[in-house]
Structure 1
Amino acid sequence: MGIIVPPCMIHASPQSWAMQYSQSTEKGPSPLAWLLAIVLLGSLAGSACALFLHLLDYAQASREAKPWLLYLLPLAGAAIVLMYQYWGGYAAAGMGSLQRAAEDPQAQPVPARRMAPLILLTTVLTHLFGGSAGREGTAVQMGGSIASAVNRLRAFQRNPRARRMLLCCGMAAGFSGLFGTPLAATIFAVEVARLGRLRWPILLPALLSALLSNAISHAWGASHALYPQIFAELSPSSWWAQFFSNGLLSVVVVALGAALAARLYLFLHHGVESNLRRLVSRAWLRPVIGGLLVIALVWVSGSRDYLGLGVTHADPEATSITSAFSEDGATHSSWLWKIVFTAVTLGSGFKGGEVTPLFFIGATLGHSLALMLGLSLALAAGLGMMAVFAAASRCPLACAVMGAELFGWSCLPLLLPCCYAAVALAARQGIYSHRPPADPDDSAAINPTDR
């Protein structure tokens, strides 16, 4: 399917875009400067995402081949926190620092030299030793960090508006290079960073950055999981029949289940994080406790399927995101176990994103609901993937479009109401709400000039 371009892009002439980019109290970057920045940003972000994906594949293969690595997870957690304490500086703020820099021209600049290498290394360590975490936070932070470096071009240095726009382009490039969904990445960057009037001018450069990053990532041999193309082979009459027989009920049931699952995940994650902060004064000790709890959860659940990303698994009998689209690919409790594993891992201080675990939770929840209520299995799993992500992130449009890019555009009429309904029923705070600043023991003193 081709990429659908928003109407605001279709009706805007190149001259109007150039004028929008150049408007500012200071002289804005020229179209040539923008083109150079986008090429640099997309190429570097795509290369970084390809490296990250290859390292994650290596980490998963190593962990599955050497099960004893799990027992080093507590030590890895302590090392991660100590690295941020001694070298992290303002990079410890993570996604929060990107959002603040994109929303407020006077915010602390993104620490370009530190954020990308630190988050890359610590996320790979989390996955190598068995933490249940994702990857989108890492890719978005790498893209933002690279954008902050590109912002040092003379044309952008004295223009806060252009710097904010380029930072959002970096976020889109990181997301696109990781997931292979450039249109959703563009919308995601706009939804996560509340940009006010900048949300329309940013669309074109963000889309170009996302498209280039995705192409570069593929050129480096990075691959993405393949999902079934739901409704792709149906005729229009059959599509409408499926829509009324299965589609509407699936939307209602999955949206409600996704909202409850997202609420439970946020509750457990924040509970683990706040209680460990309250009870354990040493920051490095919190992931040690979290790692021990993950090991205990493996013994209690009797399964290692909930470690790592969970997109695919070498064992065909294991539960994963892709297996959830088949009849025997998950159990009724798979989604609940993944919530607990991920909340303990990330709440105790390990690094990584949350989107891929949310995909796992949503796909296995949809699988369970489909079997219980006689719904279409592939449709319920696909809707669940996107609806849980939407409910937790509060980015419904990006999630619906991402689902269309993954499962086929014929699903968009069902994805849109499902994602928006899940957001309406979920908690008001999401995973991208600004996190409170780290306590003094969590990181080294932050230098105002640290970049």
Structure 2
Amino acid sequence: MEFTKEYWVNCFSRCVRYATTFFKWIVFSLIMGTICGLVGTAFHICVEYATGFRENNHMIIYFLPLAGIVIVFIYRICGIRHSKGTNLVIGSIRSVEDEIPSRMAPLIFISTVITHLFGGSSGREGAALQIGGSIGVSIGKLFKLDDSDKHILTLCGMSAVFSALFGTPITAALFSMEVISIGILYYCAFVPCLFSSVIAYAITKKLHVVHDHYNIAGMPTSVDVPLVIKVIGLAILCAVLSSLFCIFMNVVHKLFRKYFKNQYVRVFAGGVMLVLLNIILNTTDYNGTGMNIIAQALNGEAKPTAFLLKALFTAITIGCGFRGGEIVPSFFVGATFGCAMGGLMGLDPGFAAALGMVCFFCGVVNCPLTSLFLSIELFGAHGILLFTIGCAVSYMLSGYYSLYNEQKIIYSKLRPHYVNLYTNQEIKTKEPGFLEGLIRIREDDSDDIEE
């Protein structure tokens, strides 16, 4: 290598390019983190207020069918007839054709609060991804950034609002990078996503937002072979359950679309079903996020059928057209299932609930690194080895299913082979690497509304 003048000029140019890019993303991280932190705080406060009001006024649940009609009407008057929700955000990262409308942020904000106020079973973090993604696209348009930079800002927004709502900045940053294309991490977005996430989290702490973190009393202090076998066993069960949950969510959604062509009728029918379930079961445990039930499970208490009922409530809520997310309901299902099964397997119920929650989440979103850091930020690093084993097993055995139809599996889970297929597909060949044998069973998940 000759240290010529041209060599030094190239080195200087490279240093300037790196420094400029770094400074650019620091500035945009500050902008995104601040805006998303404030919006996320407002969203958190509104959802918490809606939840508290519903818990003190149980009769409001009977108005859930009418609330669904209001949500559909709001989307229609804003000109959105086909709402793909979080799937649109995920798809927009890989394609310039699927652009997130700026009005998605206020729409999903308002409609999610309405859903929680009247007792729909949904989460907040799915809405956070849509709010953050919409803000990111809007900021990108404002500063006239190119498509690649707008995609990174979309990831920043997803990370920042997720962090503001859940109080897990590292998990939030990794999730937005990992969830888009399984097998590929968008490392170019690591700095802006992490900084946006941390800034948003810092703002929520400054505004005295309280996030849920847990101390698991029954966390194992030592690791032995019988314990590892039990952890693997529970992770296998969570992987199977996560696949069934994703299939069930898709089936319920398709059944609603098949038998209720008009979305006003569809969402009203779903609301009536949820009200009837509340009357029959005589409980409100499965309305809203159910964070109190998750906390009980992590303390070692859960009804054996809680995970099944929460899956049913969530599938009806999301399937018929109410808004929100599926992530917190997946925490509920995983935690209550782990608590119930852990006791039967000889594990501490509280620890089993935490393990079940993380492994089930890993199975439904196919994000093992995100799930691992989630366990650390929520429960501490004492059980990192056991959670790592659980996440690895759950990821491998959960198959090609996901909460998000637009999520892609880039590399096979079984061998180092490029597959590049969408989740929730039926595989007709023995080897998932052969694309010729794939038959798509998922439909366009837009909500068709009759005139």
Instruction: Give your verdict on TM over 0.5.
Output: yes
- Partner residue in 1 for 2:306: 334
Q: 1:168-247, aligned counterparts within 5 Å? A: 168-194=155-181, 199-229=186-216, 239=221, 242-244=222-224, 247=227
User: Aligned equivalents of 2:352 and 2:276: distance in 1?
Assistant: 31
Relative distance call for 1:432 and 1:16 in structure 2 (3 A) is farther
Deviation at 1:401, TM superposition (A): 0.9
CA contact (8 A) 1:143 1:172 kept: yes
Supply the distance in 2 between the matched residues of 1:124 and 1:279 (Cα, whole angstroms).
27
Aligned-pair CA distance for 1:50: 0.8
For residues 429 and 198 of structure 1, the distance between their equivalents in structure 2, rounded to whole angstroms, comes to: 19
1:261 positional shift = 2.2
| Alignment pair present for 1:37 and 2:7 | no
Which amino acid counterpart does residue 107 of structure 1 have in structure 2? E
CA separation of 1:171 and 1:195: change in aligned 2, threshold 3 A: farther
1:50–1:221: 8 Å Cα contact kept in structure 2?
no
Higher RCO (CA < 8 A, seq sep 6+): 1
SS at match of 1:223: coil
Amino acid at match of 2:44: L
Task: Give 1:18 deviation, angstroms.
Answer: 7.2
Q: Which string of whole-angstrom CA distances, capped at 9 and with x for unpartnered residues, describes residues 111-139 of structure 1?
A: 12x11110010001111101111111111
- Indicate whether 1:322 and 2:295 are aligned: yes
Report the CA distance shift for 1:356/1:16 in structure 2 as closer, same or farther (over 3 A).
farther
Matched residue SS, 2:347: coil
C-alpha distance 117-375 of structure 1, shift in aligned 2 (>3 A): same
SS of 1:85's equivalent?
helix
Structure 1 residues 436 and 44 mapped into 2: Cα distance closer, same or farther (>3 Å)?
A: farther
**TM-superposed deviation, 1:158:** 4.6
Identity %: 32
Q: How does 1:408-447 map to 2 (within 5 A)?
A: 408-434=380-406, 436-438=443-445, 441-442=448-449
Which residue of structure 2 lines up, in the alignment, with residue 160 of structure 1?
Answer: 147
Q: CA deviation at 1:182?
A: 1.0
- Tell me, in whole angstroms, the C-alpha distance in 2 between the residues paired with 1:17 and 1:124: 47
Asked if 1:141 is matched to 2:130, the reply is: yes
Shift of 1:209: 0.6
CA contact (8 A) 2:218 2:348 kept: no
1:302 aligns with 2:316: no
Contact 2:178/2:184 (<8 A) preserved: no
What is the alpha-carbon distance in structure 1 between the residues aligned to residue 446 and residue 387 of structure 2?
39
Among candidates 20, 37, 42, match of residue 46 of structure 1: 37
Q: How many angstroms apart in 1 are the aligned matches of 2:14 and 2:328?
A: 38
Unaligned runs of 5+ in 2: 1-12, 407-441
Distance verdict in 2 for CA 1:67–1:110, change over 3 Å: same
Deviation at 1:98, TM superposition (A): 1.4
The C-alpha deviation readout for 1:41-91, integer Å capped at 9, x for no partner, is 001111111111111111111111111101000011111122222315388
Kept after mapping to 2: 8 A contact 1:272/1:343:
yes
Bigger mean CA deviation after superposition, 344-353 or 368-377: 368-377
Equivalent residue number for residue 276 of structure 1: 256
Q: Is the 8 A contact 2:299 2:349 kept in 1?
A: yes
SS of 2:238's equivalent in the other structure is: helix
Are the aligned partners of 1:367 and 1:380 in contact in 2 as well (CA < 8 Å)? yes
* Aligned position for 2:340: 368
Listed as ranges, the matches of 1:21-36 within 5 Å are: 30-36=21-27
Q: Which amino acid aligns with 2:277?
A: L
The answer to whether the aligner puts 1:70 opposite 2:39 as a matched pair is no
Decide whether the 8 Å contact of 2:178 with 2:185 is kept in 1. no
Determine the C-alpha separation between the residues in 2 that align with 1:31 and 1:207. 13
Aligned counterparts of 1:169 and 1:90: Cα–Cα separation in 2:
27
- Preserved contact between residue 168 and residue 193 of structure 1 (Cα < 8 Å): no
Matched letter for residue 323 of structure 1: Q
- The CA RMSD over aligned residues, in Å, is 2.4
CA distance in 2, matches of 1:230, 1:88: 51
Q: Which residue of 1 aligns with 2:422?
A: none
Change (3 A) 1:196 1:339: closer
Structure 1 position 259 matched with structure 2 position 246: no
Quickly say closer, same or farther: Cα 1:198–1:425, change in 2 above 3 A: closer
Tell me, in whole angstroms, the C-alpha distance in 1 between the residues paired with 2:266 and 2:30: 41
Summarize deviations over 1:286-317 as a string: whole Å, max 9, x none.
Answer: 111111111121233232111111102xxxxx
* Paired residue total: 404
The 8 Å contact of residues 335 and 365 in structure 1, kept in 2 or not, is answered as: yes
Contact map agreement 2:261 2:449 (CA 8 A) in 1: no
CA–CA separation in structure 1 for the residues paired with 2:359 and 2:41: 27
**Change beyond 3 A, Cα 1:265–1:210:** same
**Post-superposition offset of 1:420:** 2.3
Residue in 1 aligned with 2:111?
122
Unpaired stretches in structure 1, ≥5 consecutive residues: 1-14, 23-29, 313-319, 445-451
Q: Which residue matches 1:103?
A: 94
Counterparts of 2:174 and 2:366, CA distance in 1? 12
Q: CA deviation at 1:171?
A: 1.1
Residue in structure 2 matched with residue 316 of structure 1 by the alignment: none
Tell me the TM-score normalised to structure 1 length: 0.84
On the 8 A contact 2:262/2:450 being kept in 1, the answer is: no
Check 1:394–1:173 CA distance in 2 against 1; reply closer, same or farther (3 A cut): same
AA in 1 matched with 2:75: Y
**Matched residue SS, 2:141:** coil
